[in-house]
Amino acid sequence: MNCMTSSDQGLVRIDDPELARDITRARMQLLLEQPSLAAAVMRIPVVQVHSDLLAEGIGIAPGAIIVSQALRLKAQQLVAYAYGHNIIHALFEHLERRGRRQEKEWNIAIDIATAALYDPILDPSMQNQSSEYDIRPPRSTKFDALVQSLGHLSCEQIYQRLIEEQLNKPAASTSYSKVTENALPAAVNLQTKECPLRF
């Protein structure tokens, strides 16, 4: 069973009707509230993968947004934010640009750059709205501090700063393992896993 329209068949490839409904709602919210992202929303395909491949529920693969049934456990507000967040990752080809960089630090760098770009767009105070319209999820204070201090840089520059900081401090005092705690899932590397993405 599929709740997508025929015009969406090539763009939204989701077998689970409830998951398809959630993604359709998230896409509509972005189209209506964030028209600057509309072209990307209507161009970048959404593909369902098995939850074993994507425990976080949403992420990116080269050229696509990927979702799994794990996303069904998330509140609709978070689904909308996460969808827009990953649209930006896909739009700027963050996964493809990683190259040989260290995966963990690159994922943090692209999340910092994406948050710095996306958060001001969603800030209700910038749109003369009350805070109840804020769909941004809570994040760790360390991650927010990195967004404030590094968000004006490119992904590549942020990555370089993270690597330099690691090299300049004792290993015990520098750990980014908890930086993205409570943040959204970063880009997912599916190249090392068997994944049935076909375009």
Please name the amino acid found at residue 186.
A
CA distance 58 to 51: 10
Has residue 5 got a pLDDT over 50?
no
- Contact assessment for residue 119 and residue 136, using Cβ atoms and an 8 Å cutoff: yes
| The pair of three-digit structure tokens given for residue 117, joined into one six-digit string | 């770009």
CA distance 79 to 145: 24
- Contact assessment for residue 188 and residue 110, using Cβ atoms and an 8 Å cutoff: no
* Least confident range of 38-52, 71-85, 125-139: 125-139
Give the tens place of pLDDT for each residue, 72-118: 877 777 888 889 899 999 989 998 999 999 999 999 999 999 999 98
Torsion of CA 184, 86, 192, 146, to 10 degrees: -50
Has residue 151 got a pLDDT over 60?
yes
Q: Give the mean pLDDT of 153-163.
A: 95
Give the tens place of pLDDT for each residue, 182-194: 455 555 554 444 4
Which residues on neighbouring strands pair with residue 60, listed in sequence order? 65
User: Model confidence at 8, in pLDDT bands (50, 70, 90)?
Assistant: low
* Least confident range of 4-8, 16-20, 149-153: 4-8
Question: For the chain, what percent of residues have pLDDT higher than 90?
Answer: 38
Closest by CA position to 109, among listed 95, 125, 129, 124: 95
Distances from the Cα of 109 to the Cαs of 18, 138, 147, 190, in angstroms?
Answer: 32, 18, 9, 18
CA distance 179 to 164: 16
The residue among 83 and 177 whose pLDDT is bigger is 83
Has residue 6 got a pLDDT over 50?
no
Strand pairing category for 58-61 and 64-67: antiparallel
CB neighbours of residue 124 within 10 Å: 14
Has residue 28 got a pLDDT over 50?
yes
Give the tens place of pLDDT for each residue, 113-130: 999 998 877 766 666 666
Q: Give the mean pLDDT of 52-64.
A: 89
Question: For the chain, what percent of residues have pLDDT higher than 70?
Answer: 73
Closest by CA position to 146, among listed 170, 110, 97: 110
* pLDDT reported for residue 198: 47
Eight-class DSSP state of 74: S
Q: Which residue has the tokens 């209507």?
A: 42
User: Model confidence at 134, in pLDDT bands (50, 70, 90)?
Assistant: low
Q: Give the mean pLDDT of 137-156.
A: 90
The residue among 196 and 108 whose pLDDT is bigger is 108
The dihedral built from the CA positions of residue 151, 83, 186 and 176, taken in this order, carries a sign that is: positive
Q: What is the pTM of this model?
A: 0.77
